[in-house]
Chains A and B, each alone.
Chain A
Amino acid sequence: MSRAPIFHFNEQRQELVQAVVDRVIAETRDPVLLLNDAAFHEIRRLELAGDQDAVTRWRKVARMLGGLVNDGGRGRALELLREQALELAHDINGNFDRRVHYFASRFLPAGMSVFLRPGIIAERNPLEILKGEALAERIVSSGKIAQIRRLAELGTVVYVPTHLSNLDSPVFAYALQASGLPPVTYGAGKNLFTNPLLSFFMRNLGAYRIDRRLKFELYKQVLKTYSSMLIERGFHSLFFPGGTRSRSGGVERKLKLGLAGTGLEAYIRTTQQGKSQRVFFVPATINYMLTLEAETLIDDWLQEQGRARYIIEDDESTRVDRLTSLARKLVQMEESCAVRFGQPLDPFGNEVDDDGRSYDRRGREVDPRSYIVDRDGKVTIDHSRDAQYTRELGEVVMEHYLKDTVAMPTHVVATAAFALLRKRMPNADLFALVRRRDESVVPWRDLIDEIERTQRRLLDLEGRDAITLSSAVRGATATEVLGDAERALNGYHSHAILRSREQGVALLDPKVLLYYQNRLAAHGVAWHGGIAR
């Protein structure tokens, strides 16, 4: 059993590319079909993008394919396929760009760079370390940490956390390190690598690149194989199964799991090879008192309701001033960010214990191998069966998201404030509520009562293991919770969100309140009306 050799990741990368391509080629039945599909999609995409050179290259490939459909052409077709697969695998693997590194290390604000890349601490002067640690202390990790530490020795750990912000991956990486857990590899959108700020730390996180524009089968094959081989080799991995950041601010209610499904493939393949690499899925939540991109995300969500979303290339995370402003704000708060590690699961959604043994919902031990055998007792890859296992795993992961959501003062106060807004406009729909431009002032007493009511419901849910409360919510009075939320919300966002006045509390931005209250909507605590994703 290999021991998460993340530190050898960069060494292994070139050899890995070759191994990925070899497997893709070995498993291709019809190379012409695969190349045709790639050419068709790429020509269409590149024409729209106006990249004439690339279009010409693909046209040439497409023309050649015509002559290769007979048996004699298979060898040449496989050669062509190998070239294309190699190029794609290299692209996923990524290149280390020294210029980006130079830029990022010179111009990143000191406190932020420590925040983003904790490993750097030792290289900095003591004053900066202090700043960095002050911030790092604000990230509170909790959950099944000791168990996961043990499982990381026994097999590969695949983390599947909720996704709210582009800060999630550095925050998660920090939480892993602070918890004594080994680091992870993960796939990040290629668009994020064009952003020097993000690219800087992502490379150091062992990130590889996913180009979401590429929709053809060959790319999917190469990407899946790459991911599966990482897991087979014992690289602990991180996937955001929600796909993109939650636009609404809500906990994911639909999961595709997608690439995370390669965890099952890796388990099956290693079992077939007689050196079974156990794979443990760990649901986790990343919870923020303040979300860096809250305003952009909720805007996008409102605009794009029901339509296909575009990839946001430019938001708060590309702006150094917003990052530093957030960092400053986060330092002032007790528990500004909470990472909670949930119950480890096997690829079939069974809970596992400290020794990696699987148990069904009635506590019976079950052999995970029994799920991947066919009628003759042979271990097989069966794509439709395995896709269904992965869908069902997604459902179990979502149950854990709810339990492991950490409710913070901003969520609680937004929930209470939004409830009062709705009481004022009982017949208003989502859009009428958030487009309200005149400011509503609610009596202080009403808001406090509503916060207390919300706290009581949350405590009840926590008692039933249905949610987790941050210490700033559990042990605090409603007045304290309101104070915390007000301090957090005002000053970071582009304008004040709610403000205490003599005549009551002014609710200044229902949209941002909606965003924060959505975190508690799936729990039935906050308003449900605006949640889809």
Chain B
Amino acid sequence: MKQLAVVGGGAWGVALATAAHAAGSSVLLYSRRPHGDLPSAVERTEDLAALARHGRTILLAVPSTHVRELARELGDHLDGHHVLVHGIRGLVPRPSSDPSWEGDELATISAILREETPARRFGALGGPVLTEELAKGLPSVMVAASHYPEVLEEVRENLAGATVRIYTTDDLLGLEWASALMSILGIAVGFARGAGVAAGLASAFAIRGVHESARVAIAAGAQERTFLGLGGFGDLLAAMSQNARPEVRLGEALAKGASIDDAVKELGQRIEAIELAPRIAEFAARHKVAAPILTTVAEGILGQKSAPELVQKLMSAPISGLA
């Protein structure tokens, strides 16, 4: 019997639980509140110990800001046989462990899991999947990444089915960085739309954005191909094709002159890319990687320049890399 535990009662966690149920898994969802939209066979628990006993594989779908606290709590109930897979977009700042750098560094979610739990068999989910489509059972494609082939096996077995296809990679760090950076580019996509940038130029910004994201992430140890595939460019295309992603809506509001606070209030939800963008700009500068688009998003968020100024700045940025 396939057994899967899911942590996170948000829309994404519920969508993953629904998909796993559809794929024939016995699913236990950890959530602090009841859900009307869950398939009746999906059980809910508020007990992490019970969750850890349900099966060896646990999917995490919580905001990146909660992951450390959650992992520390969950870690009390885990051991080396557990498989932890997260579908969390984001990088977590923490004091640098590198004595030659005294500021913060950006840790991946799996690095946080390594610090906070005794588990080792980690994986991540990403790719062009959209929460609403997955929840509705529409055909979807995901990317799973892990250094452990057995983890990828577990993910496939528990999630893949008639409507879910899963591609795999061993570039765990690459997929984690790609998911995080694509959320920043999502703001850029919305921004371009809001600023009335023509479709051709918007496409150019998108693909240049993917390339520069790859350059930035390579400095962190990622592989370029991850960015050019489903987990990078594929993910961004999904964001461009519709307005559902909150990052896109945020970018659009910013371009139309809204302040960041108003835009966030209007959206009614947390956007992790807001805090991440300036950190990525700083990371790129420290590693001497040219990142004009990501840096521009950071400036846009900080409200330092108007939309036309930012577009003008991008058009005049030095050309780096191949076409």
Residues in A neighbouring B76, C-beta threshold 8 A: 364
Min CB–CB distance B150 → chain A (angstroms): 6
Residues in B neighbouring A370, C-beta threshold 8 A: 79-81
Minimal Cβ-Cβ distance residue in B for A380 = B150
Q: Tell whether, in the assembled complex, residue A524 and residue B101 are in contact, meaning their CB atoms are under 8 Å apart.
A: yes
Residues in B neighbouring A374, C-beta threshold 8 A: 150
Min CB–CB distance B256 → chain A (angstroms): 45
Bound together, the chains give a CA A389 to CA B101 distance in angstroms of 27
Q: Tell whether, in the assembled complex, residue A466 and residue B117 are in contact, meaning their CB atoms are under 8 Å apart.
A: no
Q: Which residues of A in the span 348-372 have a Cβ within 8 Å of any Cβ on B? A: 348, 350, 360-362, 364, 366-372
Q: Tell whether, in the assembled complex, residue B98 and residue A524 are in contact, meaning their CB atoms are under 8 Å apart.
A: yes
Bound together, the chains give a CA A389 to CA B99 distance in angstroms of 25
Bound together, the chains give a CA A377 to CA B56 distance in angstroms of 10
Minimal Cβ-Cβ distance residue in B for A371 = B80
Bound together, the chains give a CA A392 to CA B111 distance in angstroms of 11
Residues in B neighbouring A368, C-beta threshold 8 A: 80
Q: Tell whether, in the assembled complex, residue B117 and residue A384 are in contact, meaning their CB atoms are under 8 Å apart.
A: no
Residues in A neighbouring B208, C-beta threshold 8 A: none
Min CB–CB distance B223 → chain A (angstroms): 16
Residues in A neighbouring B116, C-beta threshold 8 A: 361-362
Bound together, the chains give a CA A525 to CA B101 distance in angstroms of 10
Name the contact of A385 in the complex, choosing from B79, B99, B148 (C-beta under 8 A).
Answer: B148
The yes or no answer to B257 lying at the interface (CB within 8 A) is no
The yes or no answer to A522 lying at the interface (CB within 8 A) is yes
The yes or no answer to A373 lying at the interface (CB within 8 A) is yes
A385 in contact with B150 given A375-B56, A402-B99, A467-B99 (CB within 8 Å): yes
Q: Tell whether, in the assembled complex, residue B80 and residue A348 are in contact, meaning their CB atoms are under 8 Å apart.
A: yes
Q: Which residues of B in the span 75-117 have a Cβ within 8 Å of any Cβ on A? A: 75-76, 79-81, 97-101, 114-117
Residues in A neighbouring B147, C-beta threshold 8 A: 388, 391
Bound together, the chains give a CA A388 to CA B172 distance in angstroms of 12
Q: Tell whether, in the assembled complex, residue A522 and residue B100 are in contact, meaning their CB atoms are under 8 Å apart.
A: yes
The yes or no answer to B54 lying at the interface (CB within 8 A) is no
The yes or no answer to A245 lying at the interface (CB within 8 A) is no
Min CB–CB distance A5 → chain B (angstroms): 30
Q: Which of A350, A361, A382, A399 has the most CB of B within 10 A?
A: A361
The yes or no answer to A461 lying at the interface (CB within 8 A) is yes
The yes or no answer to B72 lying at the interface (CB within 8 A) is yes
The yes or no answer to B149 lying at the interface (CB within 8 A) is yes
The yes or no answer to A445 lying at the interface (CB within 8 A) is no
Minimal Cβ-Cβ distance residue in B for A374 = B150
The yes or no answer to B120 lying at the interface (CB within 8 A) is yes
Bound together, the chains give a CA A369 to CA B99 distance in angstroms of 33
Binary per-residue interface labels of chain B (117-154) against chain A in the complex, 1 for a CB within 8 Å, 0 otherwise: 11011000000000000000000000000011110001
Min CB–CB distance B41 → chain A (angstroms): 22
Q: Which of A368, A377, A384, A461 has the most CB of B within 10 A?
A: A384
The yes or no answer to A523 lying at the interface (CB within 8 A) is yes
Q: Is the interface of B mostly helix, strand, loop or mixed?
A: loop
Q: Tell whether, in the assembled complex, residue B148 and residue A384 are in contact, meaning their CB atoms are under 8 Å apart.
A: yes
Q: Tell whether, in the assembled complex, residue A373 and residue B118 are in contact, meaning their CB atoms are under 8 Å apart.
A: no
Bound together, the chains give a CA A366 to CA B149 distance in angstroms of 23
Name the contact of A384 in the complex, choosing from B97, B101, B149 (C-beta under 8 A).
Answer: B149
Residues in B neighbouring A364, C-beta threshold 8 A: 75-76, 118
The yes or no answer to A23 lying at the interface (CB within 8 A) is no
Min CB–CB distance B199 → chain A (angstroms): 44
Bound together, the chains give a CA A377 to CA B55 distance in angstroms of 12
Q: Tell whether, in the assembled complex, residue B118 and residue A366 are in contact, meaning their CB atoms are under 8 Å apart.
A: yes
Min CB–CB distance A434 → chain B (angstroms): 21
Q: Which of B79, B115, B118, B154 has the most CB of A within 10 A?
A: B118
Residues in A neighbouring B120, C-beta threshold 8 A: 348, 371, 389, 392
Residues in B neighbouring A367, C-beta threshold 8 A: 79-80
Min CB–CB distance B95 → chain A (angstroms): 11
Name the contact of B115 in the complex, choosing from A350, A361, A369, A372 (C-beta under 8 A).
Answer: A361
Q: Which residues of A in the span 303-355 have a Cβ within 8 Å of any Cβ on B? A: 348, 350
A385 in contact with B149 given A371-B80, A373-B81, A466-B99 (CB within 8 Å): yes
Q: Tell whether, in the assembled complex, residue B99 and residue A350 are in contact, meaning their CB atoms are under 8 Å apart.
A: no
Q: Which of B81, B116, B150 has the most CB of A within 10 A?
A: B81
Minimal Cβ-Cβ distance residue in B for A521 = B100
Bound together, the chains give a CA A498 to CA B147 distance in angstroms of 49
Q: Tell whether, in the assembled complex, residue A362 and residue B149 are in contact, meaning their CB atoms are under 8 Å apart.
A: no
Q: Tell whether, in the assembled complex, residue A523 and residue B75 are in contact, meaning their CB atoms are under 8 Å apart.
A: no
Bound together, the chains give a CA A360 to CA B72 distance in angstroms of 11
A388 in contact with B148 given A350-B118, A373-B81 (CB within 8 Å): yes
Name the contact of A528 in the complex, choosing from B80, B81, B100 (C-beta under 8 A).
Answer: B100
Bound together, the chains give a CA A368 to CA B80 distance in angstroms of 7
Min CB–CB distance A269 → chain B (angstroms): 18
A523 in contact with B150 given A371-B80, A371-B120 (CB within 8 Å): no
Residues in A neighbouring B117, C-beta threshold 8 A: 360, 362
Bound together, the chains give a CA A385 to CA B120 distance in angstroms of 10
Residues in A neighbouring B97, C-beta threshold 8 A: 399
Min CB–CB distance A29 → chain B (angstroms): 19
Minimal Cβ-Cβ distance residue in B for A367 = B79
Binary per-residue interface labels of chain B (147-166) against chain A in the complex, 1 for a CB within 8 Å, 0 otherwise: 11110001000000000000
Min CB–CB distance A426 → chain B (angstroms): 17
Q: Which of B76, B149, B154 has the most CB of A within 10 A?
A: B149
Residues in A neighbouring B121, C-beta threshold 8 A: 385
A382 in contact with B81 given A360-B75, A389-B120 (CB within 8 Å): no
Cross-chain pairs A/B with CB under 8 angstroms, 11 sampled: A361-B115, A362-B72, A364-B76, A366-B118, A367-B80, A370-B79, A371-B120, A384-B149, A385-B121, A392-B120, A525-B99
Known: A382-B150, A466-B99. 8 other contacts (CB 8 A): A360-B117, A366-B79, A371-B120, A385-B150, A402-B99, A464-B99, A523-B100, A525-B100
Per CB-CB distance, the 3 closest pairs between chain A and chain B, nearest first, are: A524-B100, A371-B80, A370-B80
